[in-house]
Amino acid sequence: MNINLSFNSISASATELLAVFAVDASDPKVRGGQPAIRLLASDAALQSAAEAVLRGGEFKAEPCETLLLHSPGGLAAVRLLVVGLGKAGKLTPHEVRKGVGTAVRFAKPRGLKEVALVTPEADGLDPRLTIRAMAEGAVLGDFDSDTYRSDRKDRSVEKVDVLAPGSPDREAAGAALREGVIVAESQNFARTLVNEPGNRLTPTVLGQRAAEMCREFGLECEVDSADKMRELKMGAFLSVTQGSEEPPALIVMRYSPSGATDGPVLGLVGKGITFDTGGISIKPADSMEKMKYDMAGGACMIAAMRAIAQLQPRVRVIGIVCAAENMPSGKAQKPGDVQIAMPAGPDQPGKSIEIINTDAEGRLVLADGITYAKQLGATHLMDAATLTGAIGIALGLINAGGFSNDEDAWARFATGLKTSGERFWRMPVEDDYRELIKSQIADIKNSGGRYGGAVTAAMFLKEFAGETPWIHLDIAGVSWSDEAKPWLASGPTGAGLRSIVEWIRSYGN
């Protein structure tokens, strides 16, 4: 997709589809009142073209509602699409992002290859964040997951013009557009990885894809397998891999900008289980095919490194992805086994872990990944994983779960959510929950039972983060969408990527 910023006249834009946004500006204090539809554009010809149909009352400007007009009078565009953004008082750049995605996905099945988007004019909308959100919405809306269909039709939108004739700062607008494209293309890169079947994206192939990305964008990358893991005494990680014929991959990526020799070193750790059967504690057959997405946290971390290599924040970052398959076999670990995690230092023993459930494998690979990130010099940690089904039970499929042992680290993350538009709900990591993962035979056990499953999984990881500022993102409930949304295709979502990038940038501005 080719995205351009244009400061030319809206009415003179000769495009296949011109999209403009509208809100319901009715007074929320008046109960039962009729919607007052307001077009978010001051262009007189555009207002005139849409006026009659908006007065008719059939269009309510509800979020992602669309209204198509052919041959709109006074405009050079062939078609005019009005996209609703909901109540005027609730308008944010994220609603604009969804509205733009809706316009792009409206164009795709109709074979329209070019779309022009009118930058919404509204009090309270940050112009820079709005233009960035528009770029993101367009790129994300163009993604589809039908990769291997023999009848796949390429219906991509080839050209998008973002029309901003009233922009007061054209240089800032251009920079915002470039940021949005970089972030959204990286999110789509994560979605592409997550979409790959387990037979085509093994741990080895995931390592190759990460290395190719690093070469393209100038990052350092090292991919090792079981020999390196044995050298590092990564007993928790290795225990997950032993049931599979596929070798594991330990992926380490480094971003080291010039002039950032002092200050924090951010460690990103991603769960990269390329297929998860549950191991000996095998999952039910129903929907197991989706377990190819159990590497979504690792995909997010690889994609985050891709984004920051281009955005170039002044902070050092180490990205680690622990990639493996979790398979049942005669060599697989069993419930009741005891594994020894990677030692925190040369003179320290690794924590002993009683395996209660082999399907609680993500926390095992992350435990060694977190320890390794600290040994490589990370002073601040973030991990991302499709870690527990329990987070979906707790929060539904709307919010993802966030956990942290550090107020400053979490405050930075929470502030970034205003830009990313993603929804995370902070969950507790109080000491009382640690009682649930105490083991009689070992230091800790890898499952705390039925209650508070997402919290006890986080408490397990907290054992390895120690006193290092740390954030854990449990994205299991939001990384895959069975239902297509007006602005986003069904399948992998790339959830978490935008928020991770904003957190990194908060340390490098």
Q: Which residues are catalytic?
A: 283, 363
Sheet holding 352-354, edge to edge: 338-340, 352-354, 444-445
Would you state the structure tokens that stand for residue 106, as one six-digit string? 């409206």
CA distance 129 to 366: 34
Apex 278 CA angle, 233 and 221, nearest 5: 45
Give the start-end residues of each E strand in 218-315.
220-224, 249-255, 265-276
Contacting residues for 478 by C-beta, under 8 A, at least 6 apart: 397, 398, 399, 400, 423, 493, 495, 496
CA distance 86 to 62: 4
Nearest to 488 by CA among 424, 426, 425, 422: 422
CA distance 282 to 289: 13
Backbone angles phi and psi of 179, in degrees to 5: -60, -45
Backbone angles phi and psi of 159, in degrees to 5: -135, 130
Each residue of 57-66: b (16+ CB within 10 Å) or e? eebebebbbb
Would you state the structure tokens that stand for residue 299, as one six-digit string? 């995909």
**Which amino acid, residue 427?**
M
How many residues belong to the chain?
509
Contact yes or no for 356/330 (Cβ under 8 A): no
Backbone angle region of 387, left / alpha / beta, with phi > 0 → left and psi within -120 to 50 → alpha: alpha
CA distance 341 to 338: 10
Contacting residues for 481 by C-beta, under 8 A, at least 6 apart: 397, 488, 490, 491, 493
Distance of CA 439 to the CA centre of its chain: 34
CA distance 327 to 464: 25
Would you state the structure tokens that stand for residue 483, as one six-digit string? 């239902």
Q: What is the dihedral of CA 406, 307, 416, 374, to 10 degrees?
A: 0
Nearest to 133 by CA among 422, 416, 421, 499: 421
Backbone angles phi and psi of 333, in degrees to 5: -65, 155
Nearest to 504 by CA among 134, 138, 253: 253
Helix (H) or strand (E) holding 231: helix 226-231
